[in-house]
Amino acid sequence: MDKFRPVFKLSKEKKAEIDKKLKEIEDRQDDNVEHLEGTEVVFYRFDESADYFSRSVFEIATRQWQGASCIDFTWENDNKAENSIVSIKEQGCWSYVGRVSGEQPLSLGDGCDQAGIAAHELGHALGLFHTMSRYDRDTFITPVIENVEEGFIDQYIKRLLKPQVTTDIPTIRAVLCIMERQECICPSGYGRALCNESPKGCGQTYMAKETEQFLIDKLGFPSNVRYEYLFCNHWIEAPQGKKIEVKVSSISYGFAHDGCILGGVEIKSSKDQIPTAYRFCSHNDRNTVLVSGSNRVPVITFNRFNQQQVILEYKIAQ
C-alpha cells in the first residue's frame, strides 16, 4: 500500500502508525484500481478532525476532478455508503493509492490547505501513482536517486506489479476527449472544444516581430493566500517557420517559493507543448532567455496571493 508525502516528512511515530495501517490492507491493494473501473460515483464525508480550511480545499478539489472526468463526488454523512473517502486532519498530506474497502482516510494536515494538494491526494485515492514510481517509469524518466533526500527515497521505488492501465496518466495530462461528455482535457495554455485555441477568459495573442516587444501581465488583487489560482493565458506567435525568443524581464518580489505555489509564469517554449513547461516565480529569474521549438509560445500566468506583475520581452529569434 502506498502513501504520499508531498510537503512534509512524517515523524517516525506517525510513519510507523501509517505503515501498520498499510500492512493491514496490503493483501487487498493489488486490485484496488481494478475496483475503480466503471465507478462514476465516489462518496466522501468529513471526519470531526477536518477543519473549515481542509474541508474547503477538499471540496474545491472534488469539483476540479468532476470538471475533468466523468467522476461524480457525492457527500454523504449518514455512513450508509459501502465505500467512501473520509477527509481527516492528521500530520502531513497523504492518501492510500486506489480504493480500500470501506472507509479510507485521506489526510490534509497543517500546511496542506491547498486545492492542488487536495486534488493530488484524490488522484492517489483514485488509483494514480507518481510518475517516478510507476511500473513503466523507466520508459519516460531516469531518476537520479543520489540526488533524492534520504527520507523520500522510498517514493522512488518502482512498482513491480501492473495494477493500473498505462493510459491512466494521459487521461489527466494529455489531450484526451471524454466521449461521454464530448469534452477535451487540454494541456495548459490550450482550450476550447478541440484544444486548438487559447482558453477562454483572461489573455490575448501577441505577434512577434524582428524587434523586441513587451508582454506585461498583472494578475491578482491585494489579499492573503487564496485557495484557488487565477489564470491568464497568452499566446506569442510568429510566422510559420520562425521561432520566438522570450526573455524574462521582471517578476514581482515575494513569489519565490519552491514549486511556485503562490504565483508565477509558465512559458511553453518546447516543441512538445503537452507537458508542463518551464515555470518562473523568482525575481532572480530575470534575464533568462528561452528560444521556442515552434512558431507559438503559450504563456500562462497564475496567482493565488496578492498581486503580481510579470514582464516578458519577445521577438522573432535570429
Q: How many CB atoms lie within 10 A of CB 254?
A: 15
Give the Å distances, CA to CA, from 235 to 122, 205, 219, 314: 31, 5, 16, 11
283 is in an annotated binding site: no
120 marked among binding-site residues: yes
Phi then psi for residue 282, to 5 deg, are: -110, 145
Q: Which of 37, 48, 59, 121 is catalytic?
A: 121
User: C-alpha cell of 222?
Assistant: 491585494
Determine whether 24 is an active site residue.
Answer: no
d(CA 221, CA 105): 35
- Cell numbers representing residue 75 in the block: 457527500
Residue ranges for the known binding site for Zn(2+) are: 120, 124, 130
Residues serving a catalytic function are 121
* Residues in the annotated binding site: 120, 124, 130
